[in-house]
Amino acid sequence: MSSVDIQLHAALARAVAGVPHHELRGRVAALSHRYRTEQVADTAPGMRDALDALAYAVVRMPATFRALQTALSTVEHQPTTHVDIGGGTGAAAWAVAALWPSVTTEVVERQPAAVRLGRQLAAGNFAQDWRWTTADLRDWTSPTTVDLMTIGYVLNELTEETRSDLIRSAARSAKTIVVVEPGTPGGHRRTLGARELLIAQGFTIAAPCPHQGPCPVDWCHFAARLPRTELHRALKDGTRNYEDEKFAYVVATRCPVRPAAARVLTRPIRRKGQVVLDLCTASGTAERVVVPKSSPSYRSARGAGWGDEAPMIR
């Protein structure tokens, strides 16, 4: 675990101290069901009060933090200013601070209970204090241009119209935009919708796509592995000591980008004497490449992981 993971788990453990586990377990189950079945909408918020916010933070925040951190690690230009939209309890702010500790961050979130908990979790953990704005994103626009805007696990909660308005407004006020959604077919579609809008606004796609053309696959998603704490297991009936958070994402920017040669789209298959890679290529096609042991690219192909930029295959 990184030091930020440890800080986050410690902050969560402090926040649940004294809260009866059976009450939290009930909220965790209900909240997990609402999010898993994508029953969260403008009119049916996921988090409704302080106990919901705590349940969300304990069982979802470490995973959304890790997915956001993975997506953000593809951003090439170090930001100095960051706005997180629909920030919940602060997962994206934690991810940005873990990568670039001196960034100035503002979190915009409509649920006061999430904002209160977010502040409490962050307190004392970072050199920079974040600004928290309790607002509905439909009534909020950034007064200045920021280097980086994150929109993590939010599009799902918005109507199609609000989603498009949000992306267009983000395009007017941010140089780089990172959208992360659950790694479901629906999450992939919503991410693609944002990608198309951002290309139309003059942005270049920096990741995961190595091209600017139409998406060649039905379902593009990735996985971020994270440790599961005892608290998480106790509240979610899990036994494994890790989980794989599946997510879809897009990084779009007005800054110059160094395009990847290709992206690994699924978990590589490592057989005796060969590696099989499913790739999205710079020419905008999806291709399966078999790299035999005799290939000069074999070593680098063996080291490639799901979601990585693919090595040059010769």
Query: Of 71-79, 105-113, 226-234, 300-308, which part binds ligand SAM (CB under 6 A)?
Result: 105-113
Site for ligand SAM contains 307 (CB under 6 A) = no
What is d(CA 72, CA 188) in angstroms, rounded to the nearest whole number?
17
Among 11, 28, 47, 260, binds ligand SAM (CB under 6 A): 47
Among 24, 71, 91, 248, binds ligand SAM (CB under 6 A): 91
Query: Of 23-31, 42-50, 269-277, 302-310, which part binds ligand SAM (CB under 6 A)?
Result: 42-50
Q: How many residues bind ligand SAM (CB under 6 A)?
A: 22
Site for ligand SAM contains 70 (CB under 6 A) = no
By beta-carbon proximity to ligand SAM, the closer residue of 49 and 136 is: 136
Site for ligand SAM contains 110 (CB under 6 A) = yes
CA distances from 27 to 40, 50, 119, 241 (A): 15, 11, 21, 22
Among 62, 79, 87, 183, binds ligand SAM (CB under 6 A): 87
Site for ligand SAM contains 153 (CB under 6 A) = yes
Within 261-300, the residues that bind ligand SAM by CB under 6 A are none
HSE, side-chain direction, 13 A CA sphere, residue 138: 9
Closest distance to ligand SAM from the beta carbon of 296 (Å)? 41
By beta-carbon proximity to ligand SAM, the closer residue of 138 and 175 is: 138
Q: Report the DSSP beta bridge partners of residue 81.
A: 104
Closest distance to ligand SAM from the beta carbon of 297 (Å)? 36
By beta-carbon proximity to ligand SAM, the closer residue of 75 and 114 is: 114
C-alpha torsion 105→108→109→112, nearest 10: 80
- List residues binding ligand SAM (CB under 6 A): 45-47, 60-61, 64, 86-88, 91-92, 109-111, 114, 136-138, 152-154, 157
